[in-house]
């Protein structure tokens, strides 16, 4: 059984890493749309076309389930992908609902980080309207963080300055939880946690997504017959980008960032 993971770039590796830990008896095909990363600052119609094309390419590789390991791509195209293909498709959604629930008792606010395109979508607006009865959710686009990540920029000083600047307009004592609503962002969880007041928790949707994947696989009666093998593909920039993906996955698996 090969499970396909798709993202604009290396962000979906944060979801793949979770899946490799939880579902080690599967094989994986990871696809990055290197020709078009980043998605989050581009027009929606262009991004939709990029996603359909890249996923079509993956379908020719014999995957049996697809994880759209990208919040932006999920919000733009997951419904259409499900209409086009009959295999199980799992998408990502910013973990706003669990964050609001977890935060309930503290009386503090929730801050969601995501790409500009995700935050502009009616899907995001509908999600927040559904779960945020108390009006405690604020959203902040962080497009530069995707670019840092794609450049494997993990210099603490650079990132700390960046986060401090972005958060300078917020009184962090008012917040209890930060939601990472883009799969690139968990690369920076540790760096971010260090500059936040200790009461703030950082959450992402990766574990929830992999739990849904596991449930779906068992519903389809698909037993794992693989060995955690990962094959990488991208839409351009080979072989350098393949190396970059391997390095980034190793960093995540070794807890080095």
**Residues forming the annotated binding site for substrate?**
7-8, 39-40, 71-72, 183-184
Q: How far apart are CA 74 and CA 248, in angstroms?
A: 22
Nearer to ligand DGL, 41 or 190 (CB): 41
Catalytic annotation on 234? no
Q: Is 7 in the site for ligand DGL (CB under 6 A)?
A: yes
Q: Is 37 in the site for ligand DGL (CB under 6 A)?
A: yes
Nearer to ligand DGL, 29 or 70 (CB): 70
Catalytic annotation on 182? yes
Q: Is 14 in the site for ligand DGL (CB under 6 A)?
A: no
Candidate residues 2, 3, 20, 38; the one interacting with ligand DGL per rule CB under 6 A: 38
Candidate residues 78, 137, 184, 235; the one interacting with ligand DGL per rule CB under 6 A: 184
Are residues 9 and 234 in contact, defined by beta-carbon separation less than 8 angstroms?
Answer: no
Smallest gap from residue 105 Cβ to ligand DGL (A): 29
Q: How many CB atoms lie within 10 A of CB 203?
A: 22
Are residues 25 and 228 in contact, defined by beta-carbon separation less than 8 angstroms?
Answer: yes
Site track 88-127 with ligand DGL (rule: CB under 6 A), x = hit: ---------------------------x--x---------
Smallest gap from residue 158 Cβ to ligand DGL (A): 19
Q: How far apart are CA 201 and CA 178, in angstroms?
A: 6
Q: Is 13 in the site for ligand DGL (CB under 6 A)?
A: no
Nearer to ligand DGL, 116 or 226 (CB): 116
Query: Residue 31 forms beta bridges with which residues?
Result: 6, 233
Q: Is 39 in the site for ligand DGL (CB under 6 A)?
A: yes
Query: How many Å separate Cα 116 from the centre of its chain?
Result: 14
Q: Is 141 in the site for ligand DGL (CB under 6 A)?
A: no
Q: For residue 67, with 0-12 CB atoms within 10 Å meaning exposed, 13-18 middle and 19 or more buried, which class applies?
A: buried
Q: How far apart are CA 218 and CA 225, in angstroms?
A: 13
> Restricting to residues 189-228, which ones interact with ligand DGL according to CB under 6 A?
none
Q: Is 182 in the site for ligand DGL (CB under 6 A)?
A: yes
Cis preceding linkage at 27, omega within 30: no
- Geometric angle at alpha carbon 115, from 65 and 144, rounded to 5°: 120
Q: Determine phi and psi for 201, rounding to 5 degrees.
A: -95, 145
H helix and E strand count, the chain: 11, 9
Q: How far apart are CA 33 and CA 210, in angstroms?
A: 21
Q: Which entry of 95, 182, 191, 233 is annotated as an active-site residue?
A: 182
Which residues lie near ligand DGL (CB under 6 A)?
A: 7-9, 11, 37-40, 70-72, 115, 118, 146, 182-184
Positions marked active-site: 70, 182
């Amino acid at each position: 059984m090969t499970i396909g993971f798709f993202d604009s770039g290396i962000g979906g590796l944060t979801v793949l890493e979770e899946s490799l830990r939880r579902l080690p008896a599967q094989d994986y095909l990871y696809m990055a749309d290197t020709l078009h990363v980043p998605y989050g600052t581009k027009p929606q119609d262009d991004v939709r076309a990029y996603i359909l094309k890249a996923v079509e390419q993956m379908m020719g590789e014999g995957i049996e389930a697809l994880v759209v390991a990208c919040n932006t791509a999920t919000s733009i195209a997951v419904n259409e992908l499900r209409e086009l293909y009959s295999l199980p498709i799992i998408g990502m959604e910013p973990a706003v609902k669990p964050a609001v629930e977890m935060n309930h008792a503290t009386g503090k606010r929730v801050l969601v980080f995501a790409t500009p395109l995700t935050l502009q979508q009616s899907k995001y607006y509908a999600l927040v309207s559904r779960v945020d009865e108390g009006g405690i959710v604020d959203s902040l686009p962080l497009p530069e963080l995707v670019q840092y990540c794609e450049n494997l920029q993990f210099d603490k000083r650079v990132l700390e300055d960046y986060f401090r600047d972005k958060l300078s307009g917020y009184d962090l004592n008012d917040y209890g939880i930060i939601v990472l609503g883009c799969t690139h962002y968990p690369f920076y969880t540790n760096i971010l946690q260090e500059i936040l007041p200790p009461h703030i928790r950082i959450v992402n949707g990766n574990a929830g997504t992999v739990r849904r994947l596991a449930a779906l696989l068992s519903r389809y009666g698909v037993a794992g017959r693989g060995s955690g093998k990962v094959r990488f593909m991208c839409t351009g920039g080979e072989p350098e980008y393949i190396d970059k993906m391997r390095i980034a996955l190793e960093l995540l698996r070794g807890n080095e960032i």
